[in-house]
Structure 1
Amino acid sequence: MNSNYVSLFSNLSVALDTHKAYWQSHAFREPELPWRAQLPDLHAALLALGDESLLELESDAGALQRFTQDYVPGQDALLKMLEGIPSLLRSPDEIPSEMRFFAKHIPGRKWQQIQYFSAHTESRGKRFIDWCCGKGHLGRYMARSRAADVLGLEWDQVLVDEGRDLARDMVEGTMDLQCCDVLSRETVDHLASKDHVLALHACGDLHRQLLTTAVLKPMAAVSIAPCCYQKTRAERYEFLSRQGQEQALALRRQDLHTMVQETVTAPGAVRRRRIQLQQWRLGFDLLQRELRGEDTYMTTPSLPQSVLKLGFKGFCRLLAERRGLSLSAEPDWDHYETLGEQRFAEARRLDVLRLSYRRALEVLVLLDQLLFLQEHGFQAELREFCPRELSPRNLLINAWRD
């Protein structure tokens, strides 16, 4: 087992446990944050941020970390632990030009992610498995560029049919797609011990299932870039490795959500709609606290951005109905909408501290998964595989058996 990864996991776990008051506090849920008395200078500096400075911190992880570590004792040492993760090896310019015909079927950013993912993935089995493959874009690319056999597993039959149509004209390699829920027991019937499983941005329980399946089968190799860690049935992160299970730190689902709260790839219009929804949620939060006579946050269901068409009043009535909250009187809707905007501006700034721990939390979870694979006979490495501008979820675990 690689002692460097063991040591890094242990040190990160202890440091994050020491700092948990900073990354477990959520300004959108808690109007008064528990760390304010400990870090009064940071609290004042965050509230004083102008809109342009705030946007820079939100979109530049390095700038964000440099800003907060000047105020938080020990955060610089914690962040320095992350510097040993290897970065990019190849750029898209080195991808053979004859492969660019694939781009017409694939969204631009996804196309570039696939190129980088491939550049960091060696062929270590007799066949590739494209896990949760969608239309099989990654699998077709690997089949064509490596003249390899690929099997794609996808639960959505519509996507499977579309992927089969796209794979019909393969010149080199073969790409087969099968309709299969990877969370079901039938998955192992499609797999062989000589397979190399690929997963580019498989969410939550889907990538956890890959890891446990790779160990139980067992697979020849795994290359996995996880995403959306919070999409899991469990309320808390269940550590996979023995070392993870023995350490003291506990991660809630909302902590896993912290890890993916980045919008560096979102278009401007999408960001503006997200902001308005958040402003309205905070306006509703202030309203429900008064109506219930309880100064506590009420969880509310996720809603599509299309609810913006309802206006603030319709939005609040919908949430109240979903939560069984009576709106017998007619509130001053303009008042609460304005309060929501003001509260959002403040919470957005104060949440900068929590978000400065995103990378450390993500690395901790990925190290747990890497150590789990090492405990079951894999050699493994953790590295960045693409620029953050293409995807903030740019960390890749490569694992293989000798």
Structure 2
Amino acid sequence: MTDQTPDRFSFSISATDGKARTGLIQMKRGDIRTPAFMPVGTAATVKALKPETVRKTGADIILGNTYHLMLRPGAERVARLGGLHKFMNWHRPILTDSGGYQVMSLSDLRKLTEEGVEFRSHLDGSKHMLTPERSMEIQRLLGSDIVMAFDECPRADQPRDVIASSMEMSMRWAKRSRDGFDSGEEHASRSALFGIQQGALDQELRKRSADALTDIGFDGYAIGGLAVGEGQEAMFATLEFAPDQLPHDRPRYLMGVGKPDDLVGAVERGVDMFDCVLPSRSGRNGQAFTWNGPINLRNARFAEDQQPLDSRCSCDTCATYSRAYLHHLVKSQEILGAMLMTEHNIAFYQQLMQAMRDAIQIGKFKEFAAKFRSDYFSK
């Protein structure tokens, strides 16, 4: 196993407040402040934004999608073109997911075995095989900085024995992912590997998963299998114990989450990293997130509203354009509307993360969370 060194990957916690923590991940391509929100660049782009705009919002790291990139343009092609960072002109850290969740979401097109998952492309129906070893190879070809172990993500409403069997297979895949990652010595010498805890909503299964992952040894640990339809109450109930089951001195990453109030509640319970398509997808569909809750710019009441989207937001969209203009762009389906709305939403998420980091640092996170919820749900 590659030694953990500061020039490859290190994580330090600078302050805690209850279970909430703030700290720093250090990697060769730059530092990542935690709690961190990673904008999702599914197909080597955060939709509607240039990479330099994403960075200007305050993002330290973005997420790329192994499943989509392996199908188009292809991992081997990206490698020939100099790797994902050069290809998309983003020169800070990139985390790539393993492809497991996307394969699960296309379950009607897949065949699952101990070896891996055989599936047909949603693009052209071509047949592919994704295994832990192939997932590591694809992420190596992409040149990602944080690599995710390959896993299966079952629905939380499955019978317990099905969830247990799936979790146990994911742990076997985690070991194969570790071995496959380490075999790529040059890539492993400058990148990190995260394991993924599974077990749905079951405390005992998640403990078994956490113990198995810890025995294998990873640079960081993700909490998988949540935000897949179980609802916020059940997710928070699981987060009361799941982060505590993972090593305290490593980052904890809650995959695919979520709404602003999800982020605050998860940080409250000890989570350090997040990703979600919600801010960019909502922006393209006319929804803006604000400190006073989400607003729908399609609504006619904004047609002559000369206020900024959010008077407390420091992004360029809020500094320059009125709600009335954004309403016009959204209603007219102008591309600029999607660009400006997405920029605001990503910036808002980054401002939220910074506010949480600041509150934890001074020991005022409980007060911050109460004030946030009061304002956010004021309508």
Report if TM-score (shorter chain) is over 0.5: no
What TM-score, normalized by structure 1, do the two folds share? 0.28
Q: More strand per residue: 1 or 2?
A: 2
Q: More helix per residue: 1 or 2?
A: 1
What TM-score, normalized by structure 2, do the two folds share? 0.29
> Bigger radius of gyration, 1 or 2?
1
